[in-house]
Amino acid sequence: MPLPAWVPIREDLRGYEPYGAPQIPDVINLNVNENPYGPSAEVAADIAESVRLAATTLNRYPDREAVQLRADLATYLGHGLTGDRVWAANGSNEVMLHVLQAFGGPGRTALSFAPTYSMYPEYARDTHTRWVTGQREEDFTVDVDRALALIAAEQPDVVLLTSPNNPTGTALPLDTIRAVAEAAPGVVVVDEAYAEFRREGTPSALDVLEEYPRLLVSRTMSKAFALAGGRLGYVAADAAIIDALRIVRLPYHLSAVTQAAAVAALRHSDELLARVDELRSTRDELARWLVGEGYDVAESDANFVLFGRFEDRHAIWQGLVDRGVLIRETGPDQWLRVSVGTPAEMEIFYGALKEVVAT
Ligand SMILES: *Cc1c(COP(=O)(O)O)cnc(C)c1O
């Protein structure tokens, strides 16, 4: 529904819809790459106890700098990182907004490689940052020569590399990240929301963080950590880059409740991440099954698989919804994305897809 004309919204925002994947009750959710395994009763109880304690001082503002949480996130990341080199916010989406507020803005340019995460252009729009996209190759990798040519031509203030990429699942080799980090005149953000799901031997940009002071590596607790509802994303970078992000954050942006829940969840990272191996093998099985059924399947280092191709992907998506399975209509035309669920959920998806394509 377009806004009525009397609403004096910014002209460049007129006609837009709020972002959102459909949320449909009583379906199997394979559409937003959540972890299908929630916290155990014990972990939930510990998170609840930490939140209860935080509640006793909710008359006070929270720790503005989230010192303990950032230190704990640094410990989780390893690589010799410390809390002053980690920033945290309400989801890595807010981290990305902070990045564009601090390093983008009017007269500045952000660049990424499509198909990629559909939220980036919205943050660019919201921060009046010019948005430029290069194209990924047929296999959804980023060609280094073409990327460098585009960077040379556009001189972007912010480059966003998503690895593993959403919605394709493609991880970038370190050589690509190094080449871009060396060529880019501004900051380079590697969005590693799905890092924990990457296959054996796939590197993380954290491995080269020390070499590039303008490199940022963002992560989230929403996916592997099974904490999407907690809203906690974070980024590792040079301490001076973190200080730049601190300038644009709202005061007290991370509630005491959020900080307490995230710190408690981090105490149980082993358990929360325990299902990641299982999800990775379910992912590999899912990809094999789709290939076996004759589909094109993008190689995935994430907890979802992009597959196709369909003349009318919307009809397939709708047919699955009608059978109680919600996947995502996103990415290049003719492709669909399915998140990795429990083995039982995948069986239901397989059955439903077979039915839909047979009709
Ligand atoms: C899911 C996702 C995120 C995580 O967003 P949060 O705000 O942390 O929940 C970030 N980047 C990409 C590419 C994603 O797919």
Tens of pLDDT, residue by residue over 190-234, are: 999 999 999 999 999 999 999 999 999 999 999 999 999 999 999
Question: Does residue 88 contact residue 230 with C-beta atoms inside 8 Å?
Answer: no
Question: Average pLDDT for residues 355-359, to the nearest whole number?
Answer: 94
| Of the candidates 121, 37, 83, the residue with the CA atom closest to the CA atom of residue 234 | 83
Q: Is residue 93 part of a domain?
A: yes
Ligand 1 centroid – CA 86 distance (Å): 17
Q: Is residue 116 part of a domain?
A: yes
| pLDDT of amino acid 359 | 85
Residues 133 and 186 in one domain: yes
Q: Return d(Cα 145, Cα 147) in angstroms, integer.
A: 5
Residues 187 and 336 in one domain: no
Of all residues in the chain, the percent with pLDDT exceeding 90 is: 96
| pLDDT of amino acid 2 | 84
Among 236, 254, 269, which residue terminates a domain? 269
Question: Does residue 125 contact residue 131 with C-beta atoms inside 8 Å?
Answer: yes
Q: Is residue 5 part of a domain?
A: no
Q: Is residue 193 part of a domain?
A: yes
Q: Is residue 216 part of a domain?
A: yes
Residues 21 and 95 in one domain: no
What radius of gyration, in Å, describes the C-alpha atoms of the chain? 21
CA of 94, closest atom in ligand 1 = 7
Q: What residue type is assigned to position 235 of the chain?
A: V
Measuring CA to CA, how many Å separate 238 from each of 48, 215, 271?
Answer: 33, 8, 30
- Whether 22 has a pLDDT exceeding 90, the answer reads no
Q: Is residue 176 part of a domain?
A: yes
- Whether 290 has a pLDDT exceeding 80, the answer reads yes
Q: Return d(Cα 197, Cα 304) in angstroms, integer.
A: 10
Residue with tokens 């020390």: 210
Regarding predicted confidence, which is higher, 19 or 128?
128
Residues 23 and 89 in one domain: no
The rounded mean pLDDT for the chain is 97
Q: Is residue 262 part of a domain?
A: yes
Question: Does residue 74 contact residue 85 with C-beta atoms inside 8 Å?
Answer: yes
Per-residue pLDDT band for 11 (boundaries 50, 70, 90) equals very high
Q: How many domains are contained in the chain?
A: 2
CATH label of the domain that carries residue 115 = 3.40.640.10
Residues 69 and 190 in one domain: yes
Q: pLDDT (tens digit, 9 = 90+) per residue, 35-64?
A: 999 999 999 999 999 999 999 999 999 999
Among 242, 269, 296, which residue terminates a domain? 269
Residues 223 and 326 in one domain: no
CA of 222, closest atom in ligand 1 = 9
CA of 231, closest atom in ligand 1 = 9
Residues 199 and 63 in one domain: yes
Residues 45 and 33 in one domain: no
Q: Return d(Cα 333, Cα 343) in angstroms, integer.
A: 28
Q: Return d(Cα 227, Cα 262) in angstroms, integer.
A: 8
Ligand 1 centroid – CA 180 distance (Å): 22
Q: Return d(Cα 265, Cα 220) in angstroms, integer.
A: 13
**Which pair of structure tokens corresponds to residue 136?**
């990924």
Residues 154 and 290 in one domain: no
Q: Return d(Cα 156, Cα 146) in angstroms, integer.
A: 14
- Whether 21 has a pLDDT exceeding 90, the answer reads no
CA of 33, closest atom in ligand 1 = 1
| Of the candidates 24, 25, 31, the residue with the CA atom closest to the CA atom of residue 339 | 31
Residue with tokens 């394509």: 357
Residue nearest to atom 14 of ligand 1 (CA): 193
- Whether 288 has a pLDDT exceeding 90, the answer reads yes
Ligand 1 centroid – CA 69 distance (Å): 19
Burial class (CB in 10 A: 0-12, 13-18, 19+), 21: middle
- Whether 1 has a pLDDT exceeding 80, the answer reads no
Residues 139 and 250 in one domain: yes
Q: pLDDT (tens digit, 9 = 90+) per residue, 230-277?
A: 999 999 999 999 999 999 999 999 999 999 999 999 999 999 888 999
Ligand 1 centroid – CA 36 distance (Å): 16
| pLDDT of amino acid 274 | 87
- Residue 218's DSSP bridge partners are 191, 235
Residues 203 and 78 in one domain: yes
Residue with tokens 């980023």: 142
| pLDDT of amino acid 77 | 98
| pLDDT of amino acid 54 | 98
| Residue range(s) defining the domain that contains residue 337 | 11-38+274-358
Q: pLDDT (tens digit, 9 = 90+) per residue, 106-116?
A: 999 999 999 99
Of all residues in the chain, the percent with pLDDT exceeding 70 is: 100
- Whether 284 has a pLDDT exceeding 90, the answer reads yes
Ligand 1 interacting residues, C-beta cut-off 6 A: 33, 91-93, 117, 162, 166, 191, 193, 220, 222-223, 228, 233
Q: Is residue 1 part of a domain?
A: no
Among 252, 269, 286, which residue terminates a domain? 269
CATH label of the domain that carries residue 315 = 3.90.1150.10
Per-residue pLDDT band for 87 (boundaries 50, 70, 90) equals very high
Candidate from 29, 93, 170, 235 with most ligand 1 atoms within 8 A of CB, to mutate: 93
Per-residue pLDDT band for 289 (boundaries 50, 70, 90) equals very high
| Of the candidates 300, 159, 279, the residue with the CA atom closest to the CA atom of residue 217 | 159
Q: Return d(Cα 70, Cα 93) in angstroms, integer.
A: 17
Residues 21 and 79 in one domain: no
- Residue 160's DSSP bridge partners are 112, 189
Candidate from 19, 87, 112, 119 with most ligand 1 atoms within 8 A of CB, to mutate: 119
| pLDDT of amino acid 163 | 98
- Residue 31's contacts (CB-CB under 8 Å, 6 or more residues apart) are 21, 22, 326, 327, 328, 337, 339
